[in-house]
Amino acid sequence: MSDQLVIALCVLLQTEAETQASLGIIGCVALYALGLGLYFAEIFLPSGGIIFVGATLCVGYAIWQMFEIQPWAGGACLAVTAVYLFVLVRWGIRRLSMAGNLGQETSTGSDVLAAGELVGSQGETETALRPAGVARFAGVSYDVVSNGDFLEAGARVVVADVSGNRIVVRLASVEPDDSQVTP
């Protein structure tokens, strides 16, 4: 009699464990929808793939449970997931890509555009140029590069060339003042 009671208790406990382990159709659909939503969120939230792993676990477990309940439902969910991920990746790449019209503005800043007018201007170095440093022209400081010479701070320089955002200067030649010239 006690053997039969133990067997009946084991069968009852196993049936209860199987019932609790199975999500049921509502739970599977909810978990599946959560996983698809997490795939969508992965596009917009930088998580280093953590959201993707969670989504894959949710969808994978839901599909596995669907196969346990109804094999055709599991197959349908698998097909829907493949199509959903294909569309989501194509849409996400297009949405997040840099392929857009940047407008009419150039990528060169106004200070670099204005520096093009400095060719031939004289100024003074604010820092030593070894060979790069800072020089002041008409009251405005610019990052400059010497033409290869090392120049000390306070040296008189002339803008030799401007290309892109690079301003090349050379040491200004010393011109005698008219007051120091003797007739």
What DSSP string describes 76-139? HHHHHHHHHHHHHHHHHHHHHSS-S---S--SS-HHHHHHGGGTT-EEEESS-BSSEEEEEETT
Query: Can you give the pTM of this predicted structure?
Result: 0.44
Q: State how far the Cα of 21 lies from the Cα of 30, in Å rounded to an integer.
A: 15
Q: State how far the Cα of 47 lies from the Cα of 149, in Å rounded to an integer.
A: 50
Dmax (CA) of the chain: 139
Helices (runs of H) and strands (runs of E) counted in the chain: 5, 5
Cβ neighbours of residue 169 closer than 8 Å, sequence gap 6 or more: 123, 125, 129, 135, 144, 145, 146, 147, 157, 158, 159, 160
Residue 97 has what pLDDT? 63
Residue 10 has what pLDDT? 46
Using DSSP's 3-state secondary structure scheme, residue 22 falls into coil
Q: Is the dihedral of CA 38, 44, 45, 49 positive or negative?
A: positive
Residue 124 has what pLDDT? 94
Residue 6 has what pLDDT? 41
Domains and CATH numbers, the chain: 2-96 (no CATH), 110-171 (2.40.50.140)
> Which residue's structure tokens are 């060169």?
108
Q: One digit per residue, pLDDT tens: the chain, 183 residues? A: 444 544 544 454 455 445 545 667 888 888 889 998 888 888 778 788 888 898 899 899 988 888 888 889 889 989 999 998 898 888 877 766 655 565 555 555 666 667 778 888 999 999 999 889 999 988 888 889 998 888 899 999 999 988 877 899 999 886 545 444 444
Q: Is the dihedral of CA 85, 87, 88, 89 positive or negative?
A: positive
Measured CA angle at 164 (ends 161, 170), to 5 deg: 25
Q: Would you say 158 and 122 are in contact if contact means Cβ atoms under 8 Å apart? A: yes
Q: Give rounded-to-5 percent helix, strand, coil for the chain.
A: 50, 20, 30
